[in-house]
Amino acid sequence: MTKNNATPIAFTVSDLTVAYDGKPAVWDADLAVPEGVLMAIVGPNGAGKSTLIKAALNLIPRAAGTVRFYGKTYEQARDLVGYVPQRGSVDWDFPTSVIDVVTMGLYGKLGWFRRPGKRERALALQALEQVGLGDFADRQISQLSGGQQQRTFLARALVQDARIYFMDEPFAAVDAVTERAIVAILSELRSRGKTVIVVHHDLQTVPEYFDWVTLLNIEVIASGPTREVFTQDLLNKTYGGRVAGLQAPAPSDDSAESPAAYTGYAPARAGS
Amino acid sequence: MTTLGRDQRVIGVIAVLALVAILFIGVSQTAWGIQYDYTLRTVALGGALLGVLTGVLGCFAVLRRESLIGDAISHAALPGVGVAFLVAGRDLGALLIGAGVASWLGVQCVNAITRTTRLKQDTALGIVLAAWFAAGIALLAYIQSTPNASQAGLDKFIFGQAAAMLESDVRLIAAAGGVALVMIVLFWKEFKLVTFDPEFAQANGFRVRFITALLSTLIVLAIILGLQVAGVILMVGMLIAPATAARQWTDRLDVMLVLSAACGAFAGGIGAIISAVSTNVPTGPMIIVVASILVALSIAFAPGRGFVWTLLRKRADRRRFAVPTIGGA
């Protein structure tokens, strides 16, 4: 899929720097993501992938830089943005049902004091059908498998009906059914002109699932259409020259340690 | 297991609690000759209302994994009680304000330690809790050594004394409880979302800091109001025991709050009565003994989560699956 100049830019990052304990987790990042692409952010552990999207969504403070969604700041563009956090970020033994979690995606639009009603329930059910969990609506969330948890989070983002979606590791440790469901949802979103930005770990599936790639290792190494950017040369540059034939990601250097601790990845230290 | 079935079970549990409470009052009147006069009714009502307040707010403390912060808050209140007494004399309002200020300083210290050092939160909580409590005990000992007659009974703040409760205290608890319940109804979806997934809430434009601060303030309010009744050492039990018991019986947050309120009222009321009619039994321990029995029964017997239920299910599973596969060979 080629993007020409007429396509609007959905998501812009300029000179973004995020620091933890005096070390940069993301350094001077610049991105311009056109509308309607499925973009993977890939890079070694601790490269700042989750940090980048969290900083974009004002979830963690930025040391410098600006972020724009269709030219607007995050505060102005909140309704345009949907977010799927890592599923490990919540307590799945919380006393609530699947449909309740999905309905939470609509809380922001309801405003203060208003309660979700029939309309919200119908929208939530529809989103659950889309991710193949229609029969699980009244299930307690602790009874879900990891993949079902991920699809619940995906449904919660779908009801937000955003124009740009940010997903933090949706493919991490999910079953084949869930992986297929997520891929189907991603192409559905693209066909509706949505922009989806996904933190991704599995290099093998990048060319198959995504038409746009950002290679990140603290700095943005490259960003653009998959067939131009997803090359052996640039991957070697991103992974410190240790990625052989698109194999599993190699460990990053020491400067990546503090963001790794934040995002919950154990930095692999093979050979050191 | 359907949701409906579980909710019916919760109604059953509440009915059993009510029945036991009525039986207790009846038996205590006839068999032990306890007179439910004005004073005892005030004490019982105060204990029960406090139990409702702590039961409801305790659910959020438990689900936010802040039980230990509750413990630190209540322990940290003690030096504030001493300082307030030295400054303003024996006035409950002043003592509670002193308690609140000391707790607030304690929590700020915990946060500062966690932010600026490499110490983890549990360590910071332990240090602040111990330091504040030790300072409080030392201060009370000093006050008791002074020839000030009105200091008598200040040490009741350590273990609590429901018998000292006046009608005005009960009114205060009822008013604060009413405010807290209205807040929870108004901010229901905000409290729920922020407790379950604060990151998503913030990404959706909710003012997470404000909502969290509001919720924490209500929890601190409940703790401070309960200090006179339950004491600084065991106040945390009133916060977490009813919520822990209630969690075993339901998978719905609203149902959990209602059941937790019922458990809190039961433990608070019965504990206050027992301690008020018997000499030298402090109220805090009595309430917590009753609450702990509820927790133990719930952990043991609650369907779906209780360990007896789990054992029975495992046995049934063995019968169903092991016998036809292994036994049949």
B147 shares contact with chain A (CB less than 8 Å) = no
Q: Where are the beta strands (DSSP E) in A35-181?
A: 38-42, 64-69, 81-84, 164-168
pLDDT at A258: 38
* Dist CA A202 CA B234 (whole Å): 51
Which of helix, strand or coil describes residue A76?
helix
Q: Which residues of chain A have pLDDT under 70?
A: 1-5, 242-272
Q: What tokens appear for B153 in the block?
A: 């009974």
pLDDT at A261: 36
DSSP designation for A214: E
pTM greater than 0.90 (yes/no): no
* Dist CA B289 CA A85 (whole Å): 42
Cβ within 8 Å, pair A91-B196: yes
Which of helix, strand or coil describes residue A16?
strand
Cβ within 8 Å, pair A108-B250: no
Which chain A positions have a beta carbon within 8 Å of B252's beta carbon?
95-97
Bridge partner list, A222: A215
Which chain A positions have a beta carbon within 8 Å of B193's beta carbon?
104, 107
* Dist CA A188 CA A196 (whole Å): 11
Model ipTM value: 0.83
Residue pair A155/A149 in contact (Cβ under 8 Å)? The answer is no
Which of helix, strand or coil describes residue A163?
coil
Q: Chain B residue with minimal CA distance to A85? A: B200
DSSP designation for B325: I
* pLDDT tens for chain B, residues 1 to 329: 444 566 788 888 999 999 999 898 888 888 877 888 888 899 999 999 999 999 999 999 999 988 888 899 999 999 999 999 988 887 888 888 999 999 999 988 988 998 888 888 889 999 999 999 999 999 998 888 887 766 667 888 888 888 878 888 899 999 988 999 999 999 999 999 999 999 999 988 889 989 999 998 899 999 999 988 899 999 999 999 999 999 999 989 999 999 999 999 999 999 999 988 887 788 889 999 999 999 999 998 888 777 888 888 888 888 777 666 665 44
What is the number of other CB atoms lying within 10 angstroms of the CB of residue B214? 16
CA distance A120 to chain B (A): 13
What is the number of other CB atoms lying within 10 angstroms of the CB of residue A67? 22
Task: Tell me which residue has tokens 């230990």.
Answer: B68
B199 shares contact with chain A (CB less than 8 Å) = yes
B251 shares contact with chain A (CB less than 8 Å) = yes
Cβ within 8 Å, pair A94-B202: no
Cβ within 8 Å, pair B200-A104: yes
Buried b / exposed e along B130-142 (16+ C-beta atoms within 10 A): eebbebbbebbee
Q: Chain A residue with minimal CA distance to B204? A: A108
Helix H segments across A71-117? 74-77, 98-103, 107-110
Cβ within 8 Å, pair A94-B63: yes
Cβ within 8 Å, pair B192-A140: no
Per-window interface: B 42-101 vs A, CB < 8 A: 63, 65
pLDDT at B258: 95
DSSP designation for A251: P
Q: Which H or E element spans position A31?
A: strand A23-34
CA distance B117 to chain A (A): 12
Which of helix, strand or coil describes residue B5?
helix
Q: Chain A residue with minimal CA distance to B250? A: A95
Q: How many CA atoms lie within 13 A of B33 on its CB side?
A: 0
Task: Tell me which residue has tokens 């000391």.
Answer: B102
Residue pair A95/B250 in contact (Cβ under 8 Å)? The answer is yes
Cβ within 8 Å, pair A104-B196: yes
